[in-house]
Amino acid sequence: MGRTAAISGALPDPQACADDARTLAVRGRRMRQRRRMLDLIIVSFMIDAAILLIYVQAGTIQPIVAVAFAVCGGVLVSILFALSESGFNDRFSDHYLTVPIAITHLVLIVGFAAWVPQIGAFFLFELFVLFGFAALRADRRQGLICWGALLCVLSPLFLLTDLPLSLPHQSLLERFATLLALVLTVGRCMFIGAFSKAMRDSLYKRGVQLREAYQRIEELAELDELTGAYNRRCVMRHLDNEIERAARHCEPMSLALIDLDLFKRINDTYGHPIGDEVLRTFAITIFANIRSFDRFGRYGGEEFLLMLPNTDQREAQQILERLRLIVAELDWSAFSPSMMVTLSAGVTTMTSAESADSVLSRADHALYEAKHGGRNRIAYA
């Protein structure tokens, strides 16, 4: 006994295992998203470093500037990658660390603009790319923080210094580098816009899929798993609604309890799998031969409930008699050459201010009469 308890105590909790699996899946998805973001940052640094090399070739800046910019970009991306892969980012609600990364980039860009003002405008162009990336992830509060940081960093540069922040255009090579800086900055901003649109489209499609899945779950929760008809809980809710609607609009509403004759004998003779197929075939047949506003559901076992809104006694009897003949004349030989399936039904029409229980009671009494009257017939209460 003690050994059994010890063994059962050592078994993992299924719920805890499921939670751990979901947590790992979320972390893995977030890590992949951060890797894509870091890839974009690396590409952006490589573009800027390439343009700086052109300025170096033109003699506008010293090679140390391009080297320093590339090293700073490499160090920054390496730190961000190490933090991401270690799971440090997952400690925060914003696992992208949007504000810290944006401020770090901002200080780096403005620092280089102050260091080499002769191409200072080139570095300031990068602010558009930087804040384009930040806008993809920042909420309102984070946006205000980034904007405040931009104001705090740029104000000293413009108000406390007289550095000539410019774009060189003396030589052809300088003009080419400046052209590339402008065109590639605009191109990256357009790419960010396209990337943002792709994200919105993806979120929209996911939202549509979730709504469709939720709707499908709701439908499955209302349907009988075997026959596809409404289940008992759902069909009783529809009955209450139909009774209320009929009373409100002073319209007739009829109801039928339908039972497959000698269904137990079918199960015993041909087996339960064949019996299930008979139920499915019967339900499909009824669905195909009732009106769009009628309600049909499985009441229990081989018993079904059919609601006929805006239908009086004469019409209800005609509808049930037609359904009885259709079922009796079906070719059931696909299940067994000697198989015959018939139905009996008790039909009643609701009177004013009548409850669901009393309507069902009268329909059940009529069904009892149909059964004891020889089956394969319709009785009216």
- Angle value at C-alpha 271, between 266 and 276, nearest 5 degrees: 75
Structure tokens that stand for 28 in this block: 């893995």
Containing 335, the helix (H) or strand (E) segment is none
- Contact (CB, 8 A) for 56 and 62: yes
pLDDT at 196 over 60: yes
Instruction: Enter the pTM of the model.
Output: 0.56
Where in the chain are the domains? Answer: 12-216, 232-380
- Contact (CB, 8 A) for 270 and 252: no
**Mean pLDDT to the nearest integer, 31-36:** 86
Q: How far apart are the first and last CA of the chain?
A: 62
Q: Tell me the per-residue pLDDT of 202-243, one tens digit each, with 9 for 90 and over.
A: 878 888 888 888 777 766 678 888 888 889 988 898 899 988
Distances (CA, A) of 138 to 131, 141, 210: 10, 8, 25
Closest by Cα among 265, 272, 276, 376 to 329: 376
3-class DSSP assignment, residue 259: strand
CA distance 59 to 50: 14
Reported confidence tier of residue 4, pLDDT bands at 50, 70, 90: very low
Domain 232-380: give its CATH code: 3.30.70.270
- Model pLDDT, residue 344: 94
Reported confidence tier of residue 2, pLDDT bands at 50, 70, 90: very low
- Model pLDDT, residue 220: 67
Instruction: Return the active site residues.
Output: 302
Mean pLDDT over all residues of the chain?
87
Residue type, 94: D
303-309/295-300 β-pairing: antiparallel
Q: Tell me the per-residue pLDDT of 78-134, one tens digit each, with 9 for 90 and over.
A: 999 999 888 898 888 888 888 999 999 999 999 999 999 999 999 999 899 888 888
The residue behind tokens 């037609």 is: 322
